[in-house]
Structure 1
Amino acid sequence: MAQPQRLPSLRRVAVCGGTHGNEMTGVYLAKHWLRDASELQRGTFHATPFLGNPRATEQCVRYIGRDLNRTFTDELLNSTDLATKPYEVQCAQEINKAFGPRGSSQAYDFMFDLHNTTANMGSCLFVASEHCLLPMHMCDYIQKHYTLGRCPVFLYQQPGDETLYLTSVAKASLGTLFPAFEIEAYKVVERVDFPRYSDGKISAVVHPNLQDKDFQPLKPGDPIFQTLNGEDVLYEGPDISYPAFINEAAYYEKKVAFIKMEKHTFFQPALQKF
């Protein structure tokens, strides 16, 4: 049996709401905890709540100039000409300064980022990859204690993807023993766009049979889109896949009708502090 992996104890945790200013669950929770963070605190670590994008939150919009959750690139974090950059670049730099710097020993140990979606995904947990041991152990713990339904794990980082996301500012570690386990998770394969006319306009909508079927099997030959004259567009993939973010309103601008996922089972070794 594999030996437990050892990581330093968790000391500082950040909890963000309002990375997208119109996703109100995180916004209201962050505002609540900013008034009184006592329910976040534990005897073994300190938790700090914050609003990711204050101006967008005030205006109840996703962002002001660009998506904050796509702004944590090395280039933008190190940019000096902020006067010519969108407001979210300033936000990203301030978050990196307050809770990082990313990749440094001073960075916070862990960061939670709270989001909503217009897709029918229910409660789910987002982790960069199956190699992120502490987040995967947290997912296993949450799944075993969550009683309101399924809580799928969404692995969003594809090989070679640039680091873009807010939670990349923090480092991951923990403060207790977690036993080894196997966990089921959904891993991103590709982002699927709507069919489009030659001028780039959308020519079909998400098929009624696919709508609200997030994390459910999509088989070759199943309808995925319906043209405006009523013709079905079928899924032509060779294997069963599992779509997520189906018809997410905020992803129209990103040319994503749904995200195609594969379902995997991963073994995770035990973790304990040193």
Structure 2
Amino acid sequence: MEVEEVVCLPKLTRVAVCGGTHGNELSGVYLVRELLKAQQKREEEEPMTVMMVLSNPRAMLQCRRYIDTDLNRCFTHAILNGPESDMAPYEMIRSRELNAMLGPKGSPEAVDFVCDLHNTTANMGLCLIAYSDSDWICLHIFRYLQRQMPDTPVRYIHFDVSHKESYSLDSVGKHGFAIEIGPQAHGVVRSNVYTAMKLGVQHMLDWIRSFNSGATFEGGCVEVFTMVKHIDYPRDKETRHITAAIHPQLQDRDFCLLHPEDPLFQTFSGETLRYKGREPLYPFFINECAYYEKGIALSLARKRCVMIPAVRVQTEQEQQQANEQGFASEEEEED
């Protein structure tokens, strides 16, 4: 009988749960506030440090997505390491504060895991959005959430940035993802959406605690949706105003396969515009309110199976060996 190979990974001792990166996405705002209160009441200590962060306090006070610019696009190295100025947009200044708190991004000092909480107006259920399809920590947490939340659609969206840099808050950690859950209108909180987010965060932290304690998690296949492209609304060539809305047959059908010639938009004069792609793809973020300004009516993804290995935490001896190998590699590069 063949024994499954186990990948050994470093312990996740510092974890950050962030809410309010967009100040009008209220499930994360209220959940982090609630977790902060619970954390203050907790007397026992645990080896894992969990930081609760309210990311964009000024936008939260005004119940706006952002004050000057989208904070969740401000975590590139160019912005984080650029020249400092009191005249810079507020969110750029705040991104550097968060990078100092949770990072620096890409450094050994960065927190081990960042979970950033978001809401969408689209009918997407609970989605984990990550930049990697080979981060075994993120993918194992995803599978654990699927198993622990059988009544909630849980999906993994992979934003492939192999040719460009990641830009969102969760990219500051060594591992991380955004939890995106909807449908929920911006500026309101729905109890069922809030509860699903709360359960997702609780199960995520439970998995990390089990992993840190030495549990082994078996490998297997998980379904991943890799983003292929965005589609904008039809627009008037002169005014750039949109001329159509999402077709009624597509609205609220996130992750339902969209075939060539399926209805895509309905113009304001009543004409049906059809999908002209060459292959069936899975739509998501359908008619997301916040994406009108970004020129995105929906995004399209391919679904595929990703095989994940069994994982467990490294022993102290394995960690020491890994560190020694890392130092040796650094010395070779310097030579």
Q: Equivalent residue for 1:231?
A: 271
Q: Residue 150 of structure 1 corresponds to which residue in structure 2? A: 153
Question: Which is worse superposed, 164-173 or 99-108?
Answer: 164-173
Once structures 1 and 2 are overlaid, which stretch shifts more, 80-89 or 114-123? 80-89
**Is 2:84 the partner of 1:81?**
yes
Q: Does 1:97 align with 2:136?
A: no
Which residue does the alignment assign to 2:231? 192
Residue equivalent to 1:26: 28
Range that drifts further, 43-52 or 241-250: 43-52
Q: Percent identity?
A: 41
Shift of 1:18: 0.2
Q: Distance in 2 between matches of 1:165 and 1:178?
A: 28
Greater helix share, structure number: 2
Paired AA for residue 33 in structure 1: L
* Contact 1:118–1:249 under 8 Å retained in 2: yes
Superposed displacement of residue 7, structure 1 = 1.2
Q: Which has the larger radius of gyration?
A: 2
Check if 1:67 corresponds to 2:70: yes
C-alpha contact 1:15 1:50 (8 A) present in aligned 2: yes
Look up the equivalent residue of 1:152 and give its one-letter code: R
Do the aligned partners of residues 44 and 18 (structure 1) sit closer, same or farther apart at CA in structure 2, a change above 3 Å counting? Answer: same
Partner-residue secondary structure (3-state), 2:119: coil
Residue from 164, 169, 184 that aligns with 1:161? 164
What letter matches 1:3 in structure 2?
Answer: E
User: Post-superposition shift, 1:2?
Assistant: 6.0
Paired position in structure 2 for 1:45: 48
Distance 1:142 1:122 in 2: 12
| Aligned residue identity for 2:279 | D
Q: Distance in 2 between matches of 1:190 and 1:257?
A: 11
Secondary structure class of the residue paired with 1:115:
strand
Match of 1:117 in 2: 120
1:62-108 per-residue CA deviation (whole Å, 9 max, x = no partner) reads: 00011111000111101233322110011111111011111111111
Distance in 1 between residues matched to 2:247 and 2:161, nearest whole Å: 27
Moved more, 201-210 or 146-155: 146-155
Partner of 1:221: 261
Whether the 8 Å contact between 1:126 and 1:156 is mirrored in structure 2 is: yes
Instruction: Tell me the residue number matched to 2:321.
Output: none
Q: Contact 1:96/1:102 (CA < 8 Å) preserved in 2?
A: yes
CA offsets 1:30-77 (integer angstroms, 9 cap, x no match): 1122223267x9834111101010000010000001111100011110
Contact 1:71-1:88 at 8 Å conserved across structures: yes
Please give the alpha-carbon distance, in whole angstroms, between the structure 2 residues aligned to 1:3 and 1:34.
39
Number of matched pairs: 273
Unaligned runs of 5+ in 1: none
Kindly provide the amino acid, as one letter, of the partner of residue 61 in structure 1. Answer: R
TM-score normalised by the chain length of structure 2 = 0.78
In the other structure, the counterpart of 1:201 is 241
Q: Name the SS for the 2:152 alignment partner.
A: coil
Q: Secondary structure at the match of 1:36?
A: helix
Q: CA deviation at 1:269?
A: 1.1
2:37 maps to: 35
Q: Which moved more, 1:53-62 or 1:177-186?
A: 177-186
- CA-based RMSD of the aligned residues comes to 1.7
Matched residue SS, 1:97: helix
Contact kept, 8 Å, 1:16 with 1:50, in 2: the verdict is yes
CA distance in 1, matches of 2:71, 2:263: 34
TM-score (normalizing by structure 1): 0.95
Gap runs ≥5 in structure 2: 176-207, 315-335
**Counterpart Cα distance in 2 of 1:146 and 1:117:** 19
1:183 to 222, 226, 239: 222
Q: Which amino acid in the other structure matches residue 245 of structure 2? A: V
Tell me the distance in 2 between the aligned counterparts of 1:81 and 1:97.
14
Q: Distance in 2 between matches of 1:34 and 1:80?
A: 33
Deviation at 1:161, TM superposition (A): 2.9
Contact 1:158–1:188 at 8 Å: present in 2 too? no
